[in-house]
Structures are given as C-alpha cells and as structure tokens.
Amino acid sequence: MMMTGIRKAGQSFLGKLVIFVLFGFLIFSFAIWGIGDIFQGYGRNSVARVGKAEIGLEQVRTAFQNDVQQLTRQQRRQITPEMARALGLDRQVLSRLITESVLDQTARSMRLAVSDDTIRNLIFEDPAFRDASGNFSAARFNELLRAKSDHICFVAKSWDYHVKVALGCTNEENLESIDLSVKAAIEAGKGAMIDCEHFFDGYKANPAYALACARTAYEAGARWIVLCDTNGGTQPSEIREIVAAVIAAGVPGDRLGIHAHNDTGQAVANSLAAVEAGVRQIQGTLNGIGERCGNANLVTIIPTLVLKSAYNERFDTGIDREALQGLTKLSHDFDELLNRSPETQAPYVGSSAFATKAGIHASALLKDPRTYEHVEPETVGNLRKVMVSDQGGKSNFINALKRRGIEVGKDDPRLDTLITIVKEREATGYAYEGADASFELLARRTLGSVPDFFQVDSFRVMVERRFDANGHLKTVSEAVVKTVIDGETVMSVAEGHGPVNALDIAIRKDLGRYQPEIADLELVDYKVRILNGGTEAITRVLIESADDTGARWWTVGVSDNIIDASFQALMDSIVYKLMKNRDLAGKVAAE
C-alpha cells in the first residue's frame, strides 16, 4: 500500500520533491547502518534486521513463493523454485524486502508514511469488502486475501446507473475500487479476475464509463476482464459489436471473458458470438443451471467448440475429443445430484437429442445416420433412437427391435400384430415413444416371451380422512396387495404418502426370492396427464425408475382410474428391472 501511495504521490511536483528527500534519507540510512550490519544480530527465525525491524524467514519464503507464482503467470509456463533461484529471484526478493523495510522506517521517521488509519479507512470504504447491508465485512476481506486459490474474482459494477443506485458511490470511487481491489490481489500474490457486472447494459447507457471500468481493471493488472450480460437481454449481434469496441479501446481479447445469462434463450449463442469477436474465456455452468432462466450451458458450448469445424479449426480448447464421450453421463449425474430429471431435449445429451420418430426420417436414418444427425451420438456418449409410435412404419419398428436384440423379419406376421397393438393402444392414450421399457416388454410379450416372475392376484387401495388420537385431521392411505410367487400366495399391507406410494410399497414389500433384486429400485419421477376433461377422464401415468447402476427407464400405464394406471406402470418397472438383471432387456430403455 505504501509503494502504491508513493507512486501516486510521485505524479505531482510536490510529491516528486518529497520522494527525492525521502530517498535521500534512505541512502543516508544505508550509510549509517551499513549494509553489512543489516545481516548481523538477528534472531533464529530472522534473515535480516533493518534498524529495529526484523525480516522473518517465513516472510522471505512467502514473498519468494508469491514472486514465483507471478513469474509463472507472466511466462505462461511452470517456473520451479530451482529455476527461480538460478535467475537470482531469491536475492531479488531479499533485496526488495530490505529496501522496503528501510524505506518504511525512514518514511515513518519523517512522518511521510501512510498511516494505518488511512489504510484502514481506504479498505473500509471499498465497496468490494462490504456485506449485503453495506457495512464493511472483515471476514470477507480476510477470506479473499488468505484464500488458498491462486486467483480472486471480484464483481464490479460497470453500469453507472448501478454505481449510483446499488453502490451509492461516485463513478470515480467505483473506478478506484476496481483499481485497488486488483492491486490488492496481485500484492497478495494472486491473480485477479474482474467480472464487469451489467457490462453490456452499461455500455448501451454510457459507453465511455463501461469502457473505463474494463480499462481500469486491465491497467491495474487483472488477468481476466469478464464482460457480463447480467440481465440476459443482449442479442448476439450486439455482443459482437460491443466486444469489438472493448478490444478497440485497448483491452486485448486474450484478457477478455464472457458471462452470459439465458433470459432470452441465447446464452450459448451470445457466448459463441463473443468468442468470434475475440474473447478467450467463457463462463458458464453445467446444464445451464443458474438464477432465473439460467446461465450459458457448458454442456452445449464445449462439444460445439470441440466438434464443429467453425471453431475447432480456429481455437484450441485443450479438451480431448475422446473425453467428450463422458459428457452425457456427466450431465445426467449432475441432474441426479440436484434430484431432478434430465432435460429430454437438451442438445447433445438429452434422450431425444438423437431420436427420430417420423417414418420417412427413420427410413433415411437407417440408410445413413448423417441424414438426420449433426454429429455422431457416440461422440458425446449418447445413443441413437428410432421412436415407435402410431406414426412409425415398419422401418421404425424393425430398427427399434433390432437395437433391443430382437430379430424379426419384415414379413413376419407377429410384426404386423405388434404394430397393430401399438397403434390401438396409442389411440386409447398410451405413449410408447416416452416409455421405452414398457414398449420393450410389450414387444417381447408379443414376439417372444417374458418370464413369469410373479402374478398380482388383486390389490385394494383405501384412503381414509379422520381425526387421530390427538384430535388432528389427517388423511391415511393404505394398500393391500395379494401376490402369487412360485405358487405361494403372499399378502402385503402398507401405508404410504398417498395411494400410489402405498401401492408401490405394498407391491415391493415381499416378492420372495426376487426381493433382494429390487432393493436398489427407486421411483425417481412420476407424471400424470389427463387426456380428456371431467373427473372420469382417461389418465396417463409415466413413471421413471432407476437403480444403483445409474440406469434409468420409463414405463407407462393408462386407465380411467389413476390408481390402476399407476399400477400398470409400477408393474412394468419391476418386471423390467428383473429382466435387466438377467440381461434379458436391451440397453436402449435403460440408458
């Protein structure tokens, strides 16, 4: 801080005069103490003593490590401590610490030093270190400077409207805050990144000030100046134009980043537009997760940069093409951590991303997948799907069955029977295009056989609304299921959170020798769709299930009774799980 203050002071005539006098005293001080005496009489943990001040071993070590890290960033290659010593960096560090210590003591003796109170006030007034209530947060300040990370990311206002309304300070104070924050991080041995919040809106309102914020961060030494479309309303053409203006204003593209929000559904497009305009860092999130409409989706951006010639022939991302094969699993695993279902229509990784339904599309796809695919699904770890529905012809069905290990000839009458059943069921409300597991079971029952694991003789579900012993009104759901397993009848009773949950628990409560096999079976999603109006409406139930292998599958049930529709879907889920355990079910449904 003192060196920064001296540099600022040196910009005026009076300041230069004071500094001339100060350095005169500094030289005089060396003459009085003697260079040799500096290294005499210091303690065990000290390297040198300057006047009354000792330079500690840990202080020298920390300064040396910080300089090595800074040199590594500047050279953009790893600099080892041995290499740094060979360059004389250790001697330079010690010389600088001695000089600064002498300078500090001389300045204090002349009453020229910046006081602790002044430094304290500067820090306290810096908006970067204020909490939500606008008060100085010592914890935030210490956490930033003492963090083990090699970089600190500061969020800075770059829209003058926000500076006035949100920060309540002047434009000049905001610029000074950006400057001091970056320099504080660098002096702490860390790289600095500035996220220029609301940059694009700020540029539209006051181009000169928005550019001043970016330039201030760059000139202070920030490694990255990230331009943020915080409100998510900027269009790709505007992104290109404004990024070009920033580069023209003197901030190099290799120091710029883009941070796009998805409020107009264009976060990915805006990020790519910024790259084309010159930025070299993209901020985004897995699956585009974020506030409001989300952020730029890295799961879409990364394969686009790696697989599309418009980018991979111009830019090196450092991402191995083969590594992309784990992208779909990564995306789905992340959704699992968030306890939400993967987006079926997500680019590259969605279950529908490489799905074809219409007959003419499927026919062409079978001849050459490139007719309806922009990349091979295997490159991102996904699978090709030809959906079956009442719109599909024989080509769809033959291909769908083949991928499940079911061979059937085009003229086989059983194929015509299956197509007829599917069309009849879909006319009553079934939707097999979204329930692959149920379709596979139907196909195997029609064309071959499905093992008779168990039979449900009957079930009964009761819902009772009553007062409990404490006088509280509660609704209780209870299910009774009578199952035949290996010729033996078993009756299971269970209560649950609602009738469907009670039925699910009762069915899986006792399946005899099959019980251990379904221990990891989990119902992860449950969807209901009313197909016509009224309380007597036909209801479609879709259930998504999963197990410990990470496989997920959908089953369907349709009835004018929601409990019966749920029962059908639950039964298919359990039977499919048992078949999957025996490798009797194809991989498509359980992807």
pLDDT in tens, the chain (591 residues): 444 444 444 444 444 444 444 444 343 333 333 333 333 444 456 677 766 677 777 778 878 887 887 777 777 778 888 888 888 888 888 877 877 776 666 555 544 444 555 555 556 666 656 666 767 776 666 666 677 788 889 999 999 999 988 888 899 999 999 999 899 889 888 899 999 999 999 999 999 999 999 999 999 999 999 999 999 999 999 999 999 999 999 999 999 999 999 999 999 999 999 999 999 999 999 999 999 999 999 999 999 999 999 999 999 988 888 889 999 988 988 887 787 778 889 999 998 888 776 555 555 555 666 666 889 999 999 877 765 554 556 767 877 787 788 888 888 888 889 888 988 888 888 888 778 899 999 999 998 778 889 999 999 999 999 888 888 899 999 999 999 999 999 999 999 989 999 999 999 898 989 999 999 999 988 989 888 767 778 899 999 999 988 888 999 999 999 999 999 999 999 999 999 998 887 555 444
- Residues composing the chain: 591
Instruction: State the Cα–Cα distance between residues 210 and 202, nearest whole angstrom.
Output: 6
Instruction: State the Cα–Cα distance between residues 43 and 41, nearest whole angstrom.
Output: 7
The residue whose two tokens read 């199952």 is: 483
Residue type, 511: L
Using a cut of 0.85, tell me whether the model's pTM lies above it.
Answer: no
Instruction: State the Cα–Cα distance between residues 572 and 432, nearest whole angstrom.
Output: 13
Q: Which long-range contacts (CB under 8 A, 24 or more apart) does 182-186 make?
A: 182/154, 182/217, 182/220, 182/221, 182/222, 183/4, 183/220, 183/221, 184/145, 185/144, 185/145, 185/151, 185/152, 185/154, 186/70, 186/220, 186/221
Residue limits of CATH 3.30.160 in the chain: 454-510
DSSP string, 287-356: GG--STT-B-BHHHHHHHHHH-HHHHTT------GGGGGGHHHHHHHHHHHTT-PPPTT-TTTSTTTTEE
Q: Which two three-digit tokens encode residue 414?
A: 């059983």
Identify the helix (H) or strand (E) that includes residue 563: helix 562-581
Q: Does domain 454-510 have CATH number 3.30.160?
A: yes
Q: For domain 121-283, which architecture applies?
A: Alpha-Beta Barrel (3.20)
Residue type, 464: E
* Tally of CB atoms within 10 A around 109: 12
Residue 158 carries which DSSP code? -
Residue limits of CATH 3.20.20.70 in the chain: 121-283
Residue 92 vs residues 2, 31, 98, 519: alpha-carbon distances, Å = 19, 20, 10, 66
Instruction: State the Cα–Cα distance between residues 431 and 423, nearest whole angstrom.
Output: 10
Q: Which two three-digit tokens encode residue 206?
A: 């006051």
Confirm if 230 and 191 have CB atoms less than 8 A apart: no
Instruction: State the Cα–Cα distance between residues 11 and 7, nearest whole angstrom.
Output: 7
Give the closest residue to 464 by CA, choosing from 452, 479, 453: 479
